Structure 1
Amino acid sequence: MKMHEGTIRVLISFLLVIITQANPTSVFYNGIEYQLYRFDGQNGRLSFNDANTACVNIGGELALINAVNIQNAIQGQLEMWKNEPNGGWIEWLRGYWIGGSCSDNCYAAGSTSNQVNWKWSDGSGIYDGYTNWYSNLEPNGVSNQAAYVYNFDDMPGFPNTLGAWGDESVNSLKNYICQRDTACYPNPCYNGGTCQYMNNGSYNCHCAPGFDDINCTTDLCNPSPCENSGTCVGTMSGYECDCTLGVIGTNCEIDLCSKNPCENGGTCIGTDGAYKCDCPDEFIGTYCETDLCNPSPCENGGTCDRLEGDYQCYCPLGVIDRNCTTDLCRSSPCENGGTCIGTDGGYDCNCQGGYNGTNCTTGKPETQQFTRIDQQLLLQQDGFKVVW
């Protein structure tokens, strides 16, 4: 009884391997794997566009049967499963999508000018190389057509169909043949890298932004090379550091404010790729290097007072202008012996001898009136004897 159980288990395991290998079945040619997806019923069969998407999802595309050697490579798989399946899916509805299609003016059997409209998915023309249309009546669709391979030879009146091509509406549901580079499957490129098959059988990884090395295993931003709280951003050429304000350098290694360049108590403030100095009220300049009141710009005894980014001169009486440069009394504006007296923002003249006016220019001089007694006294003072 135990032997029977073991035998049953072995048979079940063997059947599972066969089923797994049967869909898809694979054939290899020139570094490319061709996978034939065959479904017994309608479930699993896809339209042309959906079939191509399914191939892309496994790292490939619908097969390009553009050489007779490729046709021969898949022919053996077609022989293995020819005339299958039959469950309600018969005649021309059978077959495998391949990667050729045409969007408009697809009737190329009777019009050689329409042949240029048939393209492989890589953009090359189907009629530029090997073709295997079933007859000179193919392709005969009008628009939105795609190529497929016949997997049957059991239709009366149509001999030698197995492996030949036909055309069908892209919306028809069929099996499909995918192709993918063997060097690129499973994908050796990590972190979202894209594998490109090389003609010598090797591969080349096109890494996602921020990743490097042959298999894209190096994350250039982990650990982050950016200093001073910079943010590492992956790029196609490597990485870039998005630096905080006031920090520069490839890796944000230079903090422009770390050695405060601002003098006289100024505060360094980082800006986008630069810095500025916030100066105390009494200082100005890029580095707050200029003391507005030392040396004092105020002349003629004026007093300098510091303001925010500026200064003000408080001038003595009679002195005006921003820097107290004009002493209104220096030019002696008061005439006829008048005395100039400075005032707040101006001057007054203290006039003498009967003169008046702003500058003592108007009026008459005072005339002395002497009496005889006055004259006598004056003359006597000078030693004269006066006799009247």
Structure 2
Amino acid sequence: MWFLLIWISLFSLTQSQTPESTSDFRNYRLELFEEGKRYDDARTVCEGRNAWLVEIKDEETQDAVRQLTEYTIWIGLHHDKGWKWNNIYELHYANWVPGRPGTVSDSFNNFCVTSRSSDGKWMNYDCGLGYRYVCQSDRTWINFNNELTLQIITSPVKTFFESQQSCAKNGSTLVEIKTNALEIFINQKLSDSNNFWTSGSDLEEEGSWKWGDGTAIDINDDNWEKWSGGNEPNGGKIENCLIKYASVNYKWVDYDCNQLSGYICQRDVSSGDCGRDVCSGKGTCQLHEDRYKCTCDAGYFGTKCEKDLLTISTSSAKYNIEQGQSLTVKFNITSYDGNINIRVSTNDNSSVTSKSTTAITSNTVLTTLSFTFNPFGVNSKTRIYNFTATPVSAASYSRVATITVVNPDQCDSSPCTSRGNCTYSLESPYYKCTCQSAYTGTSCEKRRFIINTAKNCKYHINLYDKKSFADANSTCKELGGAVAMMKTTEIQALAESQIITQYGATGPTILFWIGGYKVNTSWIWVDGTVVPTTGEDSKWSSWFDNTTKQGEMVLSSHPDRSRNSMRWFATENNAQQGYICEIAAIDRCSPSPCLNSGSCIQIGCQRKCKCMWGYTGENCETRISQISCFQSGISILWNQEKHKFESVYKLYLEDLMSKTSKVTNVQILLTNEPTINIGNVSEPSPIHCFSSTRLSISPNKYILVDLWVARIRMSLKSVAKVYHIFDESKLNLEFVDLT
């Protein structure tokens, strides 16, 4: 009883000190007291409030104090066999005025430290001087009379039952408020608008209220709220849990147990052990006089071991780096334990490099350190680098930052065309294509060609890009050639040699389209020449009846699978086979071998002459018998010397019928004579002529003319014979170049 009265007396004395202002920082409450006091007196006031003189252990706390006040204040740093915070915690961060701390001595009594008004920096002064001061208290964990520690939880809110479980996880229980002293103490710590669960309930028996340990709760206790319409508890079977209700100054109210609220946990600390959870799980907690003391694990410090002595970080944990590029990684470092060394290693612990900082002091705890890998090259797509930081002075703990370096696999973009196989490479362009044998190039983008001995024809042999005959022919035309014609033994031998080079000398039966097909009863090459059926250059299989079979020709290793003595067969056009293209390596029509205005046509590596009417022969060298298409009637000759046509032209007969209304028949005479003597009534020998019946000539129709001169004959109703020259304007005849 006497103890309780003494405690209340001391509690009332210290609580009579009212802070000028307060602020919450992290899980702490900072309270500014404006009345100047000596150091020991200020400390006594703080301890009476279950607090301590503020401990500025990092720049963030220094900033929080400066925001609360810019006056000179006592802080909790004190010299007793070294500088410590409230004679408990070692000094790691310092913010001394340059040249301080001064030498301490009993004569100066300068064992105490202020944070000065101008910039917050620290100076040691006579402890007997009077200054303002800031108290710091724990908003969540509170020591009550060295018997209990209390944890006040405002978030996240929970039901009564969830709150019980949450406390139990930390070795605690919901609070049991069995004394007025504890009730007053708790109320001094509650300032949020939250309600708070206690352990009280009448869940076991309606109306029989008990604390969590089974101790009875007097329903007439003055801490129950007294409403004008009736006293608590008054909720009957609906409200069975005791809550401290914020809107009535935290009086007790019975409440629905399933509502969400804050809660208060308690732990018995009579043994002196206040639990690791008080120390953020990073140290052991022991009661120290009227507060707790955390002995932090290696690498941590702070009142609750909430601070890392050493942190390293970088802006990104993952880097995408092309092969051959350099990589620079910059680390931000905070060390309250002096300079550090960073060792770089790979995931298999292979050491890469190391560096140390040189600029860290207790006053300067921030610095940066950069690592450059140049040029960057790895033999795998992904590599992990570990940056292990340890204090230079001691290696009892370390901090590790990890980055992942990804070399994008160039194969992901499928650079290998034509079904080439892509593999990762350490050399530019950092991929390697294994091409199908018909292709070559870095990305298999080029077709593979072989060239004949004469250097005038090249061949492309493709087995895997199977096509129908028509598609194979189209592909070969796109390459500027045609499906290959095996016209000689030498050509086939060259093809067989390359087939063996690309696909091997032995293996299953393989087939390739070649440029032959059957027309009626004859086999011809795609250039119109005849495919031999007998003789040395004929490679028909001995048992294949080419006289009765139809289709297109293939070169096949069937039946003995020999690839150096392949044979000709025929199959259907739409069958999917390999193919062989031939493409001229030179212009076979330059110079043209065709005579008498014949046209040279190049098909694959072959050439042929298209002869004018009246000529024949391989080079159009033979003239055939002349024919005449002239009939009696009026002939109109059109000719101008300036028109010397060297290509194919369109001859328009636009409005010809309307301008000569008596026309009954039109004939076109093509001649190879560049000029015609109008006075000579004898008509030149025609090369070819067309009648209007065949041409169905009408306005806006045209015919193609590929000779120098066009002679137009019209049969009129008049019997008179007239030769007449029409120019372009009179007959609206127009020659248009089609090339």
**Range of TM-score over shorter length:** 0.3 to 0.5
TM-score under structure 2 normalisation?
Answer: 0.20
Which fold has the larger relative contact order, with Cα–Cα distance below 8 Å and residues 6 or more apart in sequence? Answer: 1
Higher strand share: 2
TM-score under structure 1 normalisation?
Answer: 0.33
